[in-house]
């Protein structure tokens, strides 16, 4: 006996066992119908699950594709900056992202096929369940034990085979979906770890190095530009001063002005000395000091420490001498 026949017998055996469990054949019909409806619900949920899973994979594939494109751009940019090492790193990562993408694409195709099959299976089951319901009502209406039994068996075998088939289809779809989700989860983890640098990821060291390089070159360019401006404007000042002697009186007055302003400049330089005042001996102790000391301080505001220094310096000298 071949495979086909044996599989068919296994299905029939299962159906017969289920039938035997029921005492009243009409009970079998109702019970079976309940199970069919449950299975239909399960199939529809299965289709929705597969679709959700497929969409997630789709999203992830898009991300990986973007990442691969971005790494390609980075490699090109790095090469144009003469950084072969960085370009090589970017291309290595790109190939890693690409291989993940290829595997995902294969699984995606499988999942899509599974979804289509399950959708068709669900429609088929729906049609069979409807047919069964009609048949069930007819059998119940014309019920005479002996006659009904065979018709019930027929209807039940027919539907239970379909249910077995659809049940297996759901199982397969669930397994594939679980595999897919496991892979998607693994890729998520890879992306989070930075090994496959997510798009706009926080740990994109290649991008940051490229950015740094281009920032540096921007700085250099700006520096060169400023230098250029300076060297260009310096001769102009010389030209201006050179022109003054040849010019009229206003030019000469203009030159006097800075000299005059040296007077005002001198007081302006005084303020920097003011901050030194707090460094002078603290004021609170002053009242405790003797009048003489205060007078001495007032006499030589800045001189006090200086006056002390020779004495202080003298002590060690004395020490050395003794």
Which residues of this chain interact with another protein, rule CB under 8 A?
2-8, 10-15, 18, 117, 120-121, 123-124, 126-128, 130-132, 135, 154-155, 157-161, 163-165, 167-169, 171-172
Residue 194's region, left for phi above 0, alpha for psi from -120 to 50, else beta, is left
Q: Decide whether 15 or 184 has the Cβ nearer to another protein.
A: 15
- Cα 61 to Cα 56: distance, rounded to the nearest angstrom: 9
Q: How far apart are the first and last CA of the chain?
A: 126
Give min distance, CB of 18 to another protein, in A.
Answer: 7
Give min distance, CB of 128 to another protein, in A.
Answer: 6
Q: Decide whether 47 or 169 has the Cβ nearer to another protein.
A: 169
Residue 280 has phi, psi (to 5 degrees) of -65, 165
Beta strands in the chain (DSSP E): none
Give min distance, CB of 159 to another protein, in A.
Answer: 6
Q: Decide whether 3 or 238 has the Cβ nearer to another protein.
A: 3
- Cα 100 to Cα 197: distance, rounded to the nearest angstrom: 13
- Cα 132 to Cα 43: distance, rounded to the nearest angstrom: 18
Who's near 126: CB < 8 A, 6+ residues apart?
Answer: 40
Helical spans, DSSP H, in 247-288: 249-260, 262-269
Give min distance, CB of 29 to another protein, in A.
Answer: 12
Q: Decide whether 5 or 202 has the Cβ nearer to another protein.
A: 5
Give min distance, CB of 196 to another protein, in A.
Answer: 29
Q: Decide whether 6 or 203 has the Cβ nearer to another protein.
A: 6
Q: Decide whether 163 or 206 has the Cβ nearer to another protein.
A: 163
Q: Which helix (H) or strand (E) holds 193?
A: helix 145-193
Angle at which helices 84-141 and 145-193 cross, to 10°: 170
- Whose structure tokens read 């529809």? 44
Q: Decide whether 10 or 244 has the Cβ nearer to another protein.
A: 10
Give min distance, CB of 160 to another protein, in A.
Answer: 7
**Which string of b and e fits 56-86 if b means at least 16 CB within 10 Å?**
ebeebbebbbebbebbeebbebbeeeebeeb
Give min distance, CB of 109 to another protein, in A.
Answer: 12
Q: Decide whether 138 or 260 has the Cβ nearer to another protein.
A: 138
Give min distance, CB of 212 to another protein, in A.
Answer: 51
Who's near 114: CB < 8 A, 6+ residues apart?
Answer: 50, 172, 173, 176, 177
Give the three-state DSSP class for 198. Answer: coil
């Amino acid at each position: 006996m071949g495979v086909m026949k044996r599989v068919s017998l296994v299905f029939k055996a299962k159906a017969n066992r289920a039938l035997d469990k029921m005492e009243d054949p009409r009970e079998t019909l109702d019970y079976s119908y309940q199970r069919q409806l449950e299975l239909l619900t399960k199939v529809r949920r299965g289709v929705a699950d597969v679709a959700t899973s497929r969409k997630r994979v789709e999203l992830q594939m898009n991300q990986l594709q973007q990442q691969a494109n971005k790494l390609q751009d980075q490699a090109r940019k790095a090469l144009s900056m003469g950084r072969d090492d960085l370009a090589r790193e970017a291309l290595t990562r790109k190939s890693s992202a690409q291989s993940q993408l290829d595997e995902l694409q294969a699984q995606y195709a499988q999942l899509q096929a599974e979804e289509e099959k399950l959708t068709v299976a669900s429609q088929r089951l729906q049609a069979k369940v409807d047919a069964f319901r009609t048949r069930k009502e007819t059998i119940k209406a014309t019920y005479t034990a002996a006659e009904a039994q065979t018709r019930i068996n027929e209807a039940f075998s027919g539907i239970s085979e379909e249910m077995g088939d659809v049940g297996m289809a759901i199982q397969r779809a669930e397994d594939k979906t679980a595999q897919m989700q496991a892979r998607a989860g693994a890729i998520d983890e890879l992306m989070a770890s930075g090994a496959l640098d997510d798009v706009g990821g926080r740990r994109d060291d290649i991008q940051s190095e490229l950015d740094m390089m281009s920032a540096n070159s921007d700085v250099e360019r700006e520096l060169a530009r400023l230098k250029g401006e300076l060297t260009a404007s310096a001769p102009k000042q010389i030209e201006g001063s050179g022109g003054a002697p040849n010019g009229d009186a206003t030019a000469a007055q203009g030159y006097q002005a800075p000299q005059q302003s040296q007077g005002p400049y001198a007081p302006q330089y005084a303020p920097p000395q003011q901050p030194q005042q707090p460094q002078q001996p603290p004021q609170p102790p002053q009242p405790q000091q003797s009048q003489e000391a205060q007078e001495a301080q007032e006499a030589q505001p800045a001189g006090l420490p200086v006056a002390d220094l020779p004495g202080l310096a003298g002590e060690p000298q004395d020490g050395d001498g003794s």
